[in-house]
Amino acid sequence: MEMGCVTWNDKLDAYFDGELPGDEAQALGKHLRECSDCAADGLSRVQLKLAVKTAGKRFVPDAAFRAHIEKMVAPRKPLYSKVWLSLLATAAVVVFAVAFLITGNHNQPQQQLLSELADLHVATLASSNPVDVVSTDRHTVKPWFEGKVPFTFNIPELQNSPFVLVGGKVVYVNRLPGAELLFRIRQHQLSLFIFQDQHQAAPTQSSTAFSFNVVQWTHDGLEYVLVGDVNSQDLDQLSQLLKTAG
């Protein structure tokens, strides 16, 4: 590893956690595209993070939870009747459920989705084989997905735009197959993820994830998420081309 990589290596975790300032995040992203050693290190960290996330299990109260609460609130000496114990246990379950709904608000599934897609985008950038079908021809890329994903989509003509289609591959999120298309503008690469709409996202919304800009929209039962480290104007331009593709 070169001496200049040592400083970047110490910042990789902060980069993937979205904690680097914007200028440093862009500089490190550029370095990852140019340095194979750091890109390989970054890919291994992303893969480890995805493995840990997949292995994680969300706690869901089951029938044993009520018995556990009753055991906790029951005194060693019977000071309360069984009716009061049942009421206390029920109240504890209600309090737990309310707290769970407050902390796990309705935005959590969307934030988790964007986090996973940002991880997949980083893994694509760090991979030596970022796509499975390599082509700038939309008439080659679109048919390649037939039979691999349970839907179809359109890719726009890009001849008179600053964007270039690099290729595509099949990805999986929550065990559902989707398409990832890779586009290039100048020295930047953008990932377009397409899935069947499972999340009831807003018609169009912009956000950020791990220092990447994100544009998200739904159309004809499909959910589109465009991720990249370009400015919002470039994202909006490409998203408009995609929305009007016929």
Q: How far is CA 105 from CA 111, 207, 217, in A?
A: 10, 17, 21
Alpha-carbon dihedral of residues 54, 112, 225, 46, nearest 10 degrees? -50
DSSP notation for 109-173: HHHHHHHHHHHHHHHHHH-SS--SEE-S-HHHHHHHTBTTBSS-------TTSSEEEEEEEEEEE
Q: Encode pLDDT of 142-180 as tens digits.
A: 999 999 999 999 999 998 899 999 999 999 988 889 999
Q: Which residues of the chain have pLDDT under 70?
A: 1-4, 51-63, 65-66, 74-109, 199-210, 246
* pTM attached to this predicted model: 0.59
Q: Which residue is it, tokens 């000071």?
A: 79
Q: Encode pLDDT of 111-154 as tens digits.
A: 777 888 888 998 888 888 899 999 999 999 999 999 999 999 99
